Amino acid sequence: MAETAKKRRAERSSMHGGLEGKLDIAAWGLLVLGSAAGFVVLQDRERGFVNTVSIVIEAIIAWLLFRSLAEIIRLLKHQARLPYGGKVSGVTETVAWECSACGATLYDPGICDRCGCEIVGTEESA
Ligand SMILES: [Zn+2]
């Protein structure tokens, strides 16, 4: 006889849809259409380059605007503990280490280039 099991919600489950999802789709659509229109306008020999740059910049600004609106809706839904589609954008942290003795930036994790101290551990900042 086979053992029984229950299904459970996986950590990798994600939600889609909502107005925020439609705004994301519109943002990508405007970016693609704007870029395509830029390449079409580029065929004009007299003012093609200037018009192409203008159209592509406008498409990028529209993409940023629509993505920002989608992010605001996600954050509002997250704050209200409602389900929302997509993910809230994150940030990437870059840690710069410095020597606790002289304050110089460490390029080698084992030794300070300025004062020559051997780096043996991590000091927690206040
Ligand atoms: Zn040092």
Q: What percent of the chain stands above pLDDT 90?
A: 51
| Chain segment 10-69, per-residue pLDDT in tens | 777 677 788 999 999 999 999 999 999 888 888 877 778 888 899 999 999 999 999 999
* Backbone φ and ψ of 118, nearest 5°: -80, 130
**Whether pLDDT at 3 is above 90:** no
**Rg value, the chain, Cα:** 25
Task: Note the Cα 73 to chain centre separation in Å.
Answer: 16
Task: Please give the residue that has the higher pLDDT: either 5 or 126.
Answer: 5
105 CA to centre of ligand 1 in angstroms? 8
13 by Cβ neighbours in 10 Å (0-12 / 13-18 / 19+) ranks as exposed
pLDDT of residue 125: 61
Q: How many helices, marked H, and strands, marked E, lie in the chain?
A: 2, 0
Task: Please give the residue that has the higher pLDDT: either 41 or 2.
Answer: 41
Cα separation, 78 vs 82, in Å, equals 6
| Chain segment 83-99, per-residue pLDDT in tens | 998 888 888 888 889 99
Protein residues with C-beta less than 5 angstroms from the ion ligand 1 = 99, 101-102, 104, 112, 114-115, 117
Task: Please give the residue that has the higher pLDDT: either 121 or 115.
Answer: 115
Cα separation, 69 vs 76, in Å, equals 11
Task: Please give the residue that has the higher pLDDT: either 10 or 111.
Answer: 111
pLDDT of residue 24: 92
118 by Cβ neighbours in 10 Å (0-12 / 13-18 / 19+) ranks as exposed
109 CA to centre of ligand 1 in angstroms? 11
Residues 36/41/42/47 CA torsion (nearest 10 deg): -150
107 CA to centre of ligand 1 in angstroms? 11
